[in-house]
Structure 1
Amino acid sequence: MKLRILTLMLIALFLASCSKKDDNVTPTPPGSGTEVGFMQRSWDGQKRGDVFYEIFVRSFADGNGDGIGDFKGITDKLDYLHSLGVSGIWLTPMNPSPSYHGYDVTDYKLTNPQFGTMADFEALLSKAKSLNIKVIIDFVINHTSSQHPWFQSAKSSATSPYRSWYLFAPTGSIQEWISSGKVPTVTTYNSREWYNNGDGYSYYNAFWDQMPDLNLANPDVVNAINDAAKFWLDKGVAGFRLDAVKHAWQDPNATEGYAFWRNFYNAMKAYKPDVYMVGEVLDDAPVVAPYFTSIPALFNFKAYWKLTEFLNNATYAKWYPKDFQDVLNIYNSSSSSYTNATKLSNHDEDRTLSTLGSIPGRAKVAAAVLLTMPGQPYLYYGEEIGMKGIKATGDENVREPFLWTTGTDSYRTTWRTPSYSNNSTVTPLAQQKDDAASIFAVYKKFLELRNTYPALASGSLAYGDINSQPDNELVYYTRQKDSEKLMVMHNFGSSTKTVSLAPIVKALNLSGVKQPVAEQGGAKVTLSGSTYTVTLPGYSSIVVEMN
């Protein structure tokens, strides 16, 4: 009897212990195992990434203390841009102009005295050359300022030799003149594009009456433009950013417009064989593509629009690589050789961080995407520190002074009191440099990655069968150059994702993991047995080298 009681007690104790053990079991979480460290190759200083940096001259850096950005300020900050790995800078208009933005030029062969002398500009070019940084300048030849001597003469008299340099028509017969071909680059009448000159004639202006359009069908105008371009090439600029390309002719699809830009590029290439040009065609890919037959590089606006769309609503984010490739396929239909100039925001658009709901994590992912996808990336000044701005109440809002440091900031321009980017809304550069979690830290890291790994700089793009990808908020793709293969993953959503790499590796036709390279946002890789697992917090990214 005692033995039976003892046996029952032992069974009860065993069952109780089993029950207690089961109640406290912690299931093995996804991604458990040994965390694998990141090993990024050291950058050798070669600027493989070919990254350009757009500078709004008036706002970037004040080198002489007058409150206005200038050539000396830019020269002093070239070492900073060199340390980032920037290979070129684009200067917004630096010719004389009555406006703060400079897109209405009064002399194509002079510098704006507010920015410095010609000697100051030449010093900038010399310093840039020593750092292997190309300099391109905004070349605004669709129109001039209404204060340009050419136009002052043209408007003063119908017999002026400069009258035919612009597009005039009798105020009462504009439509008839257009229909009869007497207004060379205009095919359709739009009353908003004509301004009454007060002498019985009106003149054409696609943007503003203070910006009269040049007659680009006039050989004398073409010669003057070519002469001005050669002047700056002789000074040492690498080339030009071409403004308002599709507006050279009123019809953006006019064969004459394509021919004008082709002739201009060919003339400059004959003069300087390695001349560089990038054009602004602010439109969808089908309108942009034909211009690649004339200009070797064009900005890819569509890729940026899709990127912000998916970051603001990640429901279908996984399709981003395919949408990006779809744009390139359209480009390929016009040219087999072109430069895809990628970008986030620029001086004419709401700042990236503001567009993304002022959520820093989204801006970090945007930077990581820009710097790991194909193309020639352009960075707008201040994006690397998360400057903000909405242009609805004025373009000035997206062109505010760069924030260099807190306290005494001798290089910060004061020409405008900022409405969006100040010390209370944006952490200045000097302070972000000390913060490993800052927006600047992401730009710094991914710029270095792009300059280090040829696959990111110029490799091919692949993304597998997106239909089979189970998570709509995860974006992944591979970049390959020769034997170097990198897999890039981004979490466009706000919640943490944990995924096994095995099915992704298989879907991308890869043979296996070689080494995790880098991350942003706290992403990590773990290894359990032979299984790699990636954990991606909201708005994080990871780069893994593959076999």
Structure 2
Amino acid sequence: MQQVMAGVDDKDTDAEMSAMLNDEGVRTETGTESNKDTDTKTGTMMDQKMEHKEKDWWKHMTLYQIYPRSFMDSNGDGVGDLQGIIMKLPYLAETGIEAIWLSPIYKSPMVDFGYDITDFKDIHTEYGTMKDLEMLITEAKRLGIKMIMDFVPNHTSDQNMWFEKSVNREDGYEDFYMWADAKMDKDGKRMPPNNWQSVFYGSAWTWNEKRGQYYLHQFTSAQPDLNFRNPKVVEAMDEVMRFWLDKGVNGFRIDAINHLFEDAELRDEPLTGKTDDKYSYEYTEHVYTKDLPEVMSMLQHWRKLVDDYTMKHGGPARIIMTEAYADLKTIMDYYETHDGKKGAHFPFNFNLITNLNEKSDARDYVFEVQKWLIYMPRGYTPNWVMGNHDNVRMATRFGPKRVDAMHMMLMTLPGVAVTYNGEEIGMQDNRDITWEDTVDPPARNVGREKYKEVSRDPARTPYQWNTQKNAGFSSAEKPWLPVHPNYKHLNLKQQMSQPSHYSVYKSLVELRKMPAMCRGQFRAEVLNRDVFAFEREVKGDNSVITVINIGPRARAVNLTEVFGLKYQQQLTVLVAGSKSTHSTGNALPADALPLAPYEGLVCMLE
């Protein structure tokens, strides 16, 4: 079992500085020279502390993903916007959020809701203006919130000026995208260059009549893939990164990074045998369109870019995080390749989304946690993601009764905790969105009969702020997606005034400041098929133990056996669930800790 030193705590530095000042103050009241020495030492320590904070600010952050289109609408057009986010920044600061990550806000025709970009250096008009974004960055900084932008390098919109120039074969843009000649079948009929499929269903190739060639698109046909074997493309995307860094953002989440390169020979991919539908993404093994070695070299290039930027300009570390759904060994190369070259500060860990659900038992939870920590290179920072805009919401996947316990798990694991907007109040998928209201491209592609199986719209519905019209999200007659009908009893305003998912979440965010949470060694244990526990231990300080019962039966568990505690040692409750009979400060026996069905407790061992 690998034990992890997670994050860094500055309380020791504070204590050392305080002790030094007290000691020096007593000893140097009459010594001018000593006072100078003290000033020098104090200044040095303060500089070192500040440098340390700036460098490592992200290693134990609570990162909050905002899906701008659904967060807050300030102008009544039914679509969330930047001014809406600005309005809600005080809420995020009060909650204790340390960094926000915005899904794409760039200029776009919105075929794939912002992932089809016409101008990487401009703001989509529905969201506001560049001035709005600059105001958002400034206000977030004032409130102590860092800003992460989505970086979408794999493709552009087919309305992007670059694509138009490439279609026309203008100088410098001829090979900006992935173009290929048609193949001809035995009857002389034009065919795509190979059997590659789009992630969103259908052929990954579309014919362009004007150019007389097919272009590759691994997502919608309105999203042509850039050619990263062309140095001019790399240069253009580097310039985009620097543009936003100059605006004051603190880093990037890199979208779909494992799709950046394809096989230069355009070879057919082998069949999986899973389906006869040649347009399904499951039809072939994606050995020539995903996870090619060149991806890592490109990532390392961008890591150097942000590191160099930080070195040149000072201030907090600029960071990159990556999105890639791939096997675990491949994902770990995003941290660092076998030759020791650094990639992302961390690759998003989707294991808690893809591998766990309401049918999982305690062994599955501990296995998924340990698996990541065992494979992760030493010295790097783990991260945990419970939900995002592409997947079923946490409360729907695990069941509403497990929301508090799942947050206890997320927030007491070592490293970075990622929250998708609305998860903190237990928002659920709206599974009853009609075909007429469905807008998600993959859902529209598969048709009326199957759209509910693939649609991402249910997890993207507007944030439920209160009981007013459209849950307080918008004054429009009809928002871009229907609000979940449960907003009358599930909303932030009601949860702020009573024990709730939100109050538990906020308590956990505050708890993460404890020494044991920031830098404690981590240990996970399975007590039975329903109950598992984590311990976070710092020598010389109080340990924190999280115990979670994911099952439908009440349990009494003996922690002394698994954690080597003293017989009848007491635990003090730090955080209990919103429906728990236990309260903060209650003392509970470690050898017979009572847990209600679906209950989680975070306790301190004194």
Relative to structure 1, the CA distance from residue 458 to residue 326 in structure 2 (aligned partners, 3 Å threshold; closer, same or farther) is same
**Equivalent in the alignment of 2:544:** 486
- How far apart in 2 are the matches of 1:261 and 1:188? 27
- How far apart in 2 are the matches of 1:195 and 1:494? 51
Task: Indicate conservation of the 8 Å contact 1:298/1:339, yes or no.
Answer: no
Relative to structure 1, the CA distance from residue 230 to residue 511 in structure 2 (aligned partners, 3 Å threshold; closer, same or farther) is farther
Deviates more, 1:61-70 or 1:471-480: 61-70
Task: Indicate conservation of the 8 Å contact 1:527/1:533, yes or no.
Answer: no
**Equivalent in the alignment of 2:553:** 495
Q: For the pair shown, which has the larger CA radius of gyration, 1 or 2? A: 1
* 1:302 pairs with one of 345, 351, 354: 351
**Equivalent in the alignment of 2:521:** 460
What's the CA shift string for 1:417-466, capped at 9, x where partnerless? 65562345751110121231x2222212222222x3232234221135x4
Relative to structure 1, the CA distance from residue 503 to residue 85 in structure 2 (aligned partners, 3 Å threshold; closer, same or farther) is same
Task: Indicate conservation of the 8 Å contact 2:116/2:157, yes or no.
Answer: yes
Task: Indicate conservation of the 8 Å contact 1:505/1:511, yes or no.
Answer: no
**Equivalent in the alignment of 1:93:** 104
* 2:530 pairs with one of 447, 460, 473: 473
Relative to structure 1, the CA distance from residue 504 to residue 127 in structure 2 (aligned partners, 3 Å threshold; closer, same or farther) is same
Deviates more, 1:297-306 or 1:379-388: 297-306
What's the CA shift string for 1:504-531, capped at 9, x where partnerless? 442x799944633222142649879x87
* Amino acid corresponding to residue 190 of structure 1 in structure 2: W
**Equivalent in the alignment of 2:150:** 138
1:214 aligns with 2:226: yes
Residue ranges of structure 1 left out of the alignment (5+ in a row): 1-43, 175-186
Measure how far apart 1:142 and its partner are. 0.6
Measure how far apart 1:261 and its partner are. 1.0
Equivalent residue of 1:143, what SS?
Answer: coil
**How many equivalent residue pairs?**
473
- How far apart in 2 are the matches of 1:411 and 1:531? 45
- How far apart in 1 are the matches of 2:599 and 2:127? 40
* 2:370 pairs with one of 315, 325, 347: 325
1:519 aligns with 2:579: no
Measure how far apart 1:366 and its partner are. 1.3
Measure how far apart 1:317 and its partner are. 1.1
1:162 aligns with 2:173: yes
Task: Indicate conservation of the 8 Å contact 1:65/1:410, yes or no.
Answer: no
1:234 aligns with 2:246: yes
Measure how far apart 1:120 and its partner are. 0.9
TM-score normalised by structure 2 residue count: 0.73
1:201 aligns with 2:213: yes
- How far apart in 2 are the matches of 1:132 and 1:510? 44
Equivalent residue of 1:371, what SS?
Answer: helix
* Amino acid corresponding to residue 297 of structure 2 in structure 1: A
Task: Indicate conservation of the 8 Å contact 2:544/2:602, yes or no.
Answer: yes
Task: Indicate conservation of the 8 Å contact 1:246/1:257, yes or no.
Answer: yes
Task: Indicate conservation of the 8 Å contact 2:64/2:101, yes or no.
Answer: yes
* 1:385 pairs with one of 413, 422, 425: 425
Residue ranges of structure 2 left out of the alignment (5+ in a row): 1-13, 15-56, 186-192, 198-202, 263-287, 312-316, 337-342, 432-451
Measure how far apart 1:118 and its partner are. 1.0
Relative to structure 1, the CA distance from residue 524 to residue 410 in structure 2 (aligned partners, 3 Å threshold; closer, same or farther) is closer
Measure how far apart 1:416 and its partner are. 3.3
Alignment of structure 1 residues 423-438 onto 2, 5 Å: 423=486, 427-436=490-499, 438=500
Alignment of structure 1 residues 23-422 onto 2, 5 Å: 49-99=60-110, 101-155=113-167, 157-158=168-169, 160-172=171-183, 190=196, 192-198=203-209, 199-250=211-262, 251=288, 252-273=290-311, 274-293=317-336, 294-306=343-355, 308-309=356-357, 312-314=358-360, 316-332=361-377, 336-356=378-398, 359-389=399-429, 390=431, 392=453, 394-407=455-468, 411-412=473-474, 414=476, 416=479, 418-419=481-482, 421-422=484-485
- How far apart in 2 are the matches of 1:48 and 1:141? 25
Task: Indicate conservation of the 8 Å contact 2:323/2:348, yes or no.
Answer: yes
Task: Indicate conservation of the 8 Å contact 1:135/1:239, yes or no.
Answer: yes
Measure how far apart 1:326 and its partner are. 1.6
Task: Indicate conservation of the 8 Å contact 1:285/1:302, yes or no.
Answer: no
- How far apart in 2 are the matches of 1:510 and 1:70? 56
* Amino acid corresponding to residue 445 of structure 1 in structure 2: S
Task: Indicate conservation of the 8 Å contact 1:321/1:477, yes or no.
Answer: no
Relative to structure 1, the CA distance from residue 419 to residue 109 in structure 2 (aligned partners, 3 Å threshold; closer, same or farther) is closer
Equivalent residue of 1:350, what SS?
Answer: coil
Task: Indicate conservation of the 8 Å contact 2:77/2:474, yes or no.
Answer: no
- How far apart in 2 are the matches of 1:344 and 1:517? 22
- How far apart in 2 are the matches of 1:519 and 1:527? 12
TM-score normalised by structure 1 residue count: 0.80
1:534 aligns with 2:546: no
Relative to structure 1, the CA distance from residue 518 to residue 539 in structure 2 (aligned partners, 3 Å threshold; closer, same or farther) is same
Q: Which has the higher contact order (CA 8 A, sep 6+)?
A: 1
Task: Indicate conservation of the 8 Å contact 2:568/2:590, yes or no.
Answer: no
- How far apart in 1 are the matches of 2:150 and 2:71? 16
Q: Percent identity?
A: 30
**Equivalent in the alignment of 1:15:** none
* 1:443 pairs with one of 488, 499, 505: 505
C-alpha RMSD of the superposition: 2.8
Relative to structure 1, the CA distance from residue 303 to residue 394 in structure 2 (aligned partners, 3 Å threshold; closer, same or farther) is closer
Measure how far apart 1:268 and its partner are. 2.3
What's the CA shift string for 1:98-149, capped at 9, x where partnerless? 0162001100111112111111111111110011100111010110011101
Measure how far apart 1:173 and its partner are. 7.8
Measure how far apart 1:79 and its partner are. 0.6
Task: Indicate conservation of the 8 Å contact 2:573/2:587, yes or no.
Answer: no
- How far apart in 2 are the matches of 1:445 and 1:268? 33
